[in-house]
Amino acid sequence: MRSWGRGELPREVGVLAIIAFVVALGFGIVAPAIPLFARDFGVGRTAVGLAVSAFAFFRFVSAFGGGSLVERFGERLVLAAGLLVVAVTTGAAGLAGSFPVFLGLRAAGGVGSAMFSVAALSLLFRVSPPTHRGRAAATWQGGFILGGIAGPAAGGLLTELSPRLPFFLYAGFLLVAGGVGMVLLRAAPDAAGPAPSPGVDLDAGPVDLRTAFRSRAYVAALIANLGVGWVLFGVRNSLVPLYVTEELGRTVAWAGAGLLAGSLAQAVALLRSGRLVDEWGRRPALLLGSTLATTSMLVLVAPPQLGLFLLSMAVFGLAAALLASAPAALVADVSPARGGRVVAVFQMSADLGAIAGPLVAGWLTDVASFQWAFALSALVLAAALVAALTLPRAGSRPPA
């Protein structure tokens, strides 16, 4: 049996983190170009919003099918195929001559994105020993965060040159990432080496979804991931710029400063959060992350102040680091072999939050106020806190 050092992670975790960085970097580069490119077809703002949301919607509805593909064909093949689909559709989108074609290619790209992310997470869980799953999840998420910080700045400059250029560059990045995945990721289960601990069989088949839903740990992970998607990928990006300009009376640059503060806090906290999840335990880490996240939204329910806004964004960044590691480690504990559909539903919970959060919170802002929208977001995050409290103390540590 292999003995794992305190800081040692399987080589595949580092490779997956590099792929995550490349994917996030490319996505950040193309994000500023999407609305401008869509407007060049002469469509209205609603159609522009559809071009943005089509990718997320089809990523959501196809994730479960991606999980089935992982169970049938394996993580590495599905990961590479998903990246290839996104690369081809993104490059073709840059050549699109009409808005319907552009929209269809964006939707098809969402399918490929679901295949990639489900396969990558499944492989990450599969090769990581139980005592290092929090650190593996933090390393993977760190790749996305760093790429997400660097991408938009470069994307804005490239879009100024040509709104089509970012699409071609993103497609090239994805092809490189797919090639790296095929070459450097050895096919599991050989990638994992000997089983890292007694009782963990990496050759075992996938855990049945009904069995996973009977686990309080899995349900808690889904609820926490829903809250992350609701705020981190949804409300924060859709409401924060409006809150800063309309409630605080500041320029949009201050909104960017708040988002940057949150991203930097998350990136720094990820250096430690994974170790806390592994050594401190899943339950305490999830409790702390949910408490910090809920508190950060409740701060925004108070009368608008710039200092409180910046504090809220930074605290939520710290919370997001823990919520990126603890729920993922819980899912890996429930389904340590090929995750497939169990991992797909976990991803879908965040995507559902990212889709519903901006719509519900935006509607609540229109009929009530920003404070009511932030209060609802705090309630969604508090649900993860309640779910964490239901976890047994004895089962909060990684499997021995």
**In degrees, to the nearest 5, what angle opens at C-alpha 103 toward C-alphas 99 and 108?**
150
Res 49 pLDDT > 60: yes
Do the beta carbons of residue 67 and residue 344 sit within 8 Å? yes
Instruction: Provide the pLDDT confidence category of residue 338 given band limits of 50, 70 and 90.
Output: low
**pLDDT value of residue 187:** 52
Residue 39, pLDDT score: 78
Query: CA nearest 278: which of 131, 141, 140, 395?
Result: 131
Q: How confident is the model at residue 45 (pLDDT cuts 50, 70, 90)?
A: low
**Residue bearing tokens 């720094």:** 268
pLDDT of amino acid 199: 39
Residue 188 is predicted with a pLDDT of 46
Share of the chain above pLDDT 90, in %: 34
User: Is pLDDT of 204 > 70?
Assistant: no
Least confident stretch, 35-39, 150-154, 243-247: 150-154
Under the banding of pLDDT at 50, 70 and 90, the label for residue 337 is low
Mean pLDDT throughout 91-103? 91
pLDDT, tens digit, for every residue of 228-257? 999 887 788 778 888 888 899 988 788 878
Q: What gap in Å lies between CA 26 and CA 18, rounded to an integer? A: 12
Question: Token pair for residue 95?
Answer: 């050549």
Residue 207 has pLDDT above 80, yes or no: no
**What is the per-residue pLDDT for 196?**
42
- C-alpha 49/C-alpha 55 separation (Å) is 11
Predicted pLDDT at 200: 44
Q: Residue 94 pLDDT more than 50?
A: yes
> What mean pLDDT value characterizes the chain?
84
pLDDT of residue 153: 64
Residues of the chain with CATH 1.20.1250.20: 11-191, 209-392
pLDDT at 270 over 60: yes
Amino acid at 156: G
Range of 22-31, 65-74, 82-91, 205-214 with top mean pLDDT: 82-91
pLDDT in tens, 122-138: 899 888 888 888 999 88
Handedness of CA 346, 326, 238, 34 (dihedral sign): negative
Spatial contact of 144 and 19, defined as CB atoms under 8 Å apart: no
Query: Which CATH number, 2.30.42.10, 1.10.10.10, 1.20.1250.20, 1.10.3210.10, labels domain 11-191?
Result: 1.20.1250.20
What pLDDT does residue 339 have?
67
Instruction: Read off φ and ψ for residue 200, nearest 5 degrees.
Output: -105, 115
Is 80 exceeded by the pLDDT of residue 161? no
How confident is the model at residue 4, as a pLDDT?
46
The confidence score (pLDDT) of residue 197 equals 39
Residue 149: per-residue pLDDT: 74
Which of 350, 343, 346, 329 is closest to 68 using CA atoms? 343
Task: Select the highest-mean-pLDDT range: 22-26, 31-35, 144-148, 216-220.
Answer: 216-220
Q: So what's the architecture of 209-392 in CATH?
A: Up-down Bundle (1.20)
Across the range 329-347, mean pLDDT stands at: 84
Q: Is the pLDDT of residue 8 over 80?
A: no
What letters, b where the CB count within 10 A reaches 16 and e where it falls short, cover 69-88? bbbeebbbbbbbbbbbbbbb
Mean pLDDT, residues 301-320 taken together: 93
Residue 2 has pLDDT above 80, yes or no: no
